[in-house]
Amino acid sequence: MKISLCALAAILATSAPTFAAVYTFSSTAGNGTPVLTTTESGVTLTATSSALSDMNISSGFLAPSQIGAGATWSMTFSSPIAITSFQIGEFTNISDGANYVFTPSSGTAVTIADNSSALAGAVATLNPTDWTSVTGVTLSYTGSSNWRVGMDNINFTPVPESSTVSALGVFALTLAAWRRRS
C-alpha cells in the first residue's frame, strides 16, 4: 500500500486530539479576592486587575469590581489556547462612544464601543479570528469613566504542546527516510 507523506500528515492532523472547552466560571477559586482562578481541560485561567480590584463571579460572569478609566484587568492561561468566541457583559452601562478593548498576547485586538447596539441588553458575543495561540488577554477601556466589564463562555481549544507536534514531525521524517530506503 502506498500512502503519500501528505496524506499521512493529513491523517495525523485530523487524528490529533482536540479538546474544545468552555470557561463558564461555574467552578472557581478566589472569588472576591484579587486573584481568581478556574481550570478547564487542564488549562488554568488566572484573572487579576492592575487596580488590585477584587475579581468576582457576577451573574455567572467573571468580572472585577468597578475600576478606573486607566486601569485594566487581565487573564492568563497556564498553556496556550485558541479562542474562537466569548461573551462580554457591561455591568456598568456607559454610552460615551469609547471602546472596550480586548488585547490578546498574540493576534489582533478586538474592540466594541460602549454604546454599541450589540451591547443592548448588556451582553454581546465577540468572535476573534486569529487568537490561535494566546497565553493571556487584557481588557482596557479608552474612555474616561470608571468601568466594569465581565467575560463569560470563553470557547477555546488547548494548543497541542510543542513536544507532541515535534514528536509527530520526527515520526513523519522517520517514516519518510524508511520509505526512501525501501
- Between 110 and 159, whose beta carbon lies closer to Ca ion? 110
Q: Which of 93, 106, 125, 127 binds Ca ion (CB under 5 A)?
A: 93
Asked if residue 114 binds Ca ion (CB under 5 A), the reply is: yes
Asked if residue 59 binds Ca ion (CB under 5 A), the reply is: no
Name the grid cell of 142: 479608552
- Unique residue bearing C-alpha cell 468552555: 22
* Shortest Å distance, C-beta 82 to Ca ion: 20
DSSP 158-170: EPPPHHHHHHHHH
| Contact by Cβ (8 Å): 21, 156 | yes
- Cα angle at 153 between 148 and 159, to 5 degrees? 115
Asked if residue 60 binds Ca ion (CB under 5 A), the reply is: yes
Name the grid cell of 34: 484579587
In the complex, residue closest to Ca ion by CB:
60
Total chain residues near Ca ion (CB under 5 A)? 7
Applying CB under 5 A, which residues contact Ca ion?
24-25, 60, 93, 95, 114, 152
